[in-house]
Amino acid sequence: MNSLDDRGGHRVSLVGAGKRYGAVRALAGVDLEVEAGRFLVLLGPSGSGKTTLVRALAGIERLDEGELRIGDRLVSAPRTHVPPEQRDLAMVFQDYALWPHLSALGNVGYALKRRKLAADQSRARAMEALERVGLAGLAERYPHELSGGQQQRVALARAIVAQPGLLLFDEPLSNLDTDLRERLRVEISTLTRQSGATAVYITHDQAEAFALADMIGVLDQGRLVQLADPETLYHRPATPFVAGFTGLSGELTGTVVGREPDDFYVVEVRDWRVQARSAHALKAGDAVRVLIRPAAPAFDESADAADAADAAASSVGSLSGSVSGTVIDVAYRGRGYDHVIACGDRHLTSVFSARPWARGTHARLSLDPTGCIAFPLNDAAQISYDDEVTTVTAGQESAAINQGVTE
């Protein structure tokens, strides 16, 4: 085994976490449990409390309420606050937060300061960490001589070098371009899992969250609205907000006309029938919104005449719902084409087909019921997006956290 490999992660347990900034309630009643060695992604729009939560885990921010345990240790409670450098964790920041006056090797080695290692041992460990992130050849370069992606790799090496039991990531990819994001995402995933550390990673990008996570927690206005594995979150979102924030093709409104096994309902939408799953106890006549995942709609190639298919609109008890509409946009995506379809006054986006369907074509779409989720129309929890942009810079805080972790 390599010296940087699995040393074991910490269980993280947060109960009743609350934090206010004046009148703003940044966190409210957050309960969170992350098993040792698991990769948790916290997902939420700007201002939902992600940064506050991860900074509270790090110990940069003090909670007003609640208790936090890292491993067996109580690190935060109303009368307890263990400082960041004693929590056995490391953090990777959005803006890299490297020391400008230290080389890449110096930055990584800095994280071993608290270890009582001989200089050559410390150097060997730091070089090994730089090798892991593919930067051994640039060890003597200073941050201003490195690209953004290279700087973030140095920050990643610095985070893993002292083998902390908890790794925290605060939107580490958001300053990088798309291609690099994807490559670095894979490296973060691989290195973190090799290290055996527990990881908490925040992002507002749902694709990134699904690609990385064992578990995803969705935050909305300071509350943790769902904590589940990616598959559950996708197929059984707890609220319309969660569904909206984790990827939708569109939404249709209709009326429940029947019930099927396994929480599925038949919903009449205009003169179509669709099937949708719901965690709510719905009854015939209830008005519902049907939220449609991008994977659910597919062009019905068999309907040579969409009109004929319309006439035979799927009936209660059929295996799959279907709707029809007009293609209003088509975009080439390399592996095929994404379409926008106008279905009555609603649009379904990202409707995929290997071949392009021309604008203006009348098309019939089948809807996979497992990608359709129904919520009562009058449900208080509406989809909402908060556009307020809040940037919390890492600043000097990284020094306290990344200067070394306790044994």
Ligand X SMILES: Nc1ncnc2c1ncn2[C@@H]1O[C@H](COP(=O)(O)OP(=O)(O)OP(=O)(O)O)[C@@H](O)[C@H]1O
CB 275 within 8 A of CB 317: no
Distance CA 353, CA 391 (A): 39
Stretch of 48-56, 190-198, 238-246, 274-282 lying at the interface with ligand X (CB under 6 A):
48-56
| Binder among 47, 217, 297, 369 for ligand X (CB under 6 A) | 47
| Binder among 9, 37, 44, 149 for ligand X (CB under 6 A) | 44
Query: Least separation, in Å, of the C-beta of 84 and ligand X?
Result: 17
Pick the closer one to ligand X by CB: 94 or 350: 94
Stretch of 303-311, 325-333, 355-363, 384-392 lying at the interface with ligand X (CB under 6 A):
384-392
For 48-60, letters b (16+ CB in 10 Å) and e give bbbbbbbbbbbbb
389 binds ligand X (CB under 6 A): yes
Stretch of 239-247, 289-297, 303-311, 385-393 lying at the interface with ligand X (CB under 6 A):
385-393
Pick the closer one to ligand X by CB: 48 or 324: 48
For 134-143, letters b (16+ CB in 10 Å) and e give ebeebbebeb
Instruction: Return the H-helix or E-strand segment holding 330.
Output: strand 321-332
Query: Least separation, in Å, of the C-beta of 166 and ligand X?
Result: 19
Query: Least separation, in Å, of the C-beta of 61 and ligand X?
Result: 8
Among positions 5-34, residues that touch ligand X (CB under 6 A) are 21, 24, 26
Among positions 157-216, residues that touch ligand X (CB under 6 A) are 204
| Binder among 9, 49, 143, 250 for ligand X (CB under 6 A) | 49
Pick the closer one to ligand X by CB: 81 or 333: 81
Stretch of 45-53, 183-191, 233-241, 306-314 lying at the interface with ligand X (CB under 6 A):
45-53
Pick the closer one to ligand X by CB: 221 or 255: 221
Distance CA 31, CA 77 (A): 14
DSSP secondary structure letters along 39-75: EEEEE--TTSSHHHHHHHHHTSS--SEEEEEETTEEE
For 383-397, letters b (16+ CB in 10 Å) and e give beeeeeeeebebeeb
DSSP secondary structure letters along 106-172: HHHHHTTTTS---HHHHHHHHHHHHHHTT-GGGTT--GGGS-HHHHHHHHHHHHHHT--SEEEEEST
Total residues interacting with ligand X, rule: CB under 6 A: 15
Query: Least separation, in Å, of the C-beta of 48 and ligand X?
Result: 4
Amino acid of residue 261: P
Pick the closer one to ligand X by CB: 95 or 251: 95
Amino acid of residue 3: S
Query: Least separation, in Å, of the C-beta of 47 and ligand X?
Result: 4
46 binds ligand X (CB under 6 A): yes
| Binder among 10, 38, 41, 50 for ligand X (CB under 6 A) | 50
Pick the closer one to ligand X by CB: 255 or 390: 390
Pick the closer one to ligand X by CB: 60 or 256: 60
Strand partners, 137: none
Structure tokens at 356: 């392009």
Q: Which residues contact residue 304 at a Cβ distance below 8 angstroms, ignoring those fewer than 6 apart? A: none
The values of phi and psi at residue 158, to 5°, are -65, -35
| Binder among 30, 34, 51, 154 for ligand X (CB under 6 A) | 51
Pick the closer one to ligand X by CB: 53 or 90: 53
Query: Least separation, in Å, of the C-beta of 295 and ligand X?
Result: 26
CB 157 within 8 A of CB 80: no
52 binds ligand X (CB under 6 A): yes
| Binder among 392, 399, 400, 406 for ligand X (CB under 6 A) | 392
* H, E, C per residue of 272-325: EEEEEECCCCCCCCCEEEEEECCCCEEECCCCCCHHHHHHCCCCCCCCCEEEEE
CB 220 within 8 A of CB 44: yes
Among positions 313-332, residues that touch ligand X (CB under 6 A) are none
Pick the closer one to ligand X by CB: 48 or 122: 48
Binding site for ligand X (CB under 6 A): 21, 24, 26, 44, 46-52, 204, 389-390, 392
